């Protein structure tokens, strides 16, 4: 595992898992949210975001945390390992609620208010976004694909790394 992408529904704990995995492996960690968002909650120009991502995937080693459906295939082509946190929606909504008001290394601002549009995106993730993820996992099945169905499974995996 030298080039790892971590994907999953928002609130699944991708960033927390990515930090722990980076700590265990020593691989450099890159957050898509930090590449995409400005601190004032505006987005960077699309080409600037894509250029930063292309530079990152060209590196010899990395962990990239985030979904961004339009860039999934670019990262899948370049990675050797995909880790998919495939958790129930309720777990993900609880994850978003638990992080509210806390500074995060993966986001350039602190979320202080509930974002109803974001919660709705999470509620629809399994119907609207997950099928594309599954389709790409099947297309790139030669990759090392690890799917966790619970936080316990992902925690056990991290503990198994020495």
Q: How far is 136 from 5, CA to CA, in rounded Å?
A: 13
Question: Taking the CB of residue 51, how many other CB atoms lie within 10 A of it?
Answer: 13
Say which CATH topology domain 3-160 has: Rossmann fold (3.40.50)
Q: How far is CA 32 from the centre of its chain?
A: 8
**What's the maximum distance between 2 C-alpha atoms anywhere in the chain?**
41
Instruction: Give pTM, 2 decimals.
Output: 0.95
Residue 136 φ/ψ, nearest 5 degrees: -70, -35
Q: How far is 30 from 41, CA to CA, in rounded Å?
A: 19
Better-scored residue on pLDDT, 104 or 130:
130
Q: Averaged over 95-113, what is the pLDDT?
A: 90
Domain positions in the chain are 3-160
- In this predicted structure, what is the pLDDT of residue 13? 96
- In this predicted structure, what is the pLDDT of residue 134? 97
In this model, does residue 108 exceed pLDDT 90? Answer: no
Q: What is the pLDDT of residues 67-102, one digit of tens each?
A: 999 999 999 999 999 999 999 999 999 999 999 999
DSSP string over 46-85: HHHHHHHHHHHHTSSSEEEE---GGGHHHHHHH-SEEEEE
Asked if 19 and 97 count as a contact pair (C-beta separation under 8 A), the reply is no
CA distances for 155 relative to 16, 17, 51, 79, angstroms: 11, 8, 33, 22
């Amino acid at each position: 595992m030298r080039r790892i992408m971590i994907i999953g529904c928002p609130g699944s704990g991708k960033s927390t898992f990515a930090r722990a995995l980076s700590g265990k492996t020593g691989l450099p960690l890159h957050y898509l949210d930090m590449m995409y968002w400005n601190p004032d909650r505006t987005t960077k120009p699309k080409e600037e975001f894509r250029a930063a991502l292309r530079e990152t995937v060209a590196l010899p080693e990395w962990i990239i945390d985030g979904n961004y459906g339009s860039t999934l295939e670019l990262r899948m082509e370049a990675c050797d390992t995909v880790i998919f946190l495939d958790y129930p929606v309720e777990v993900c909504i609880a994850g978003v609620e638990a992080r509210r008001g806390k500074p995060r290394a993966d986001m350039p601002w602190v979320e202080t208010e509930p974002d109803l549009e974001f919660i709705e995106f999470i509620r629809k993730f399994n119907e609207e976004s997950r099928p594309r993820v599954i389709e790409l996992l099947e297309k790139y099945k030669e990759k090392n694909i690890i799917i966790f169905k619970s936080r316990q499974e992902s925690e056990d995996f991290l503990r198994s790394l020495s």
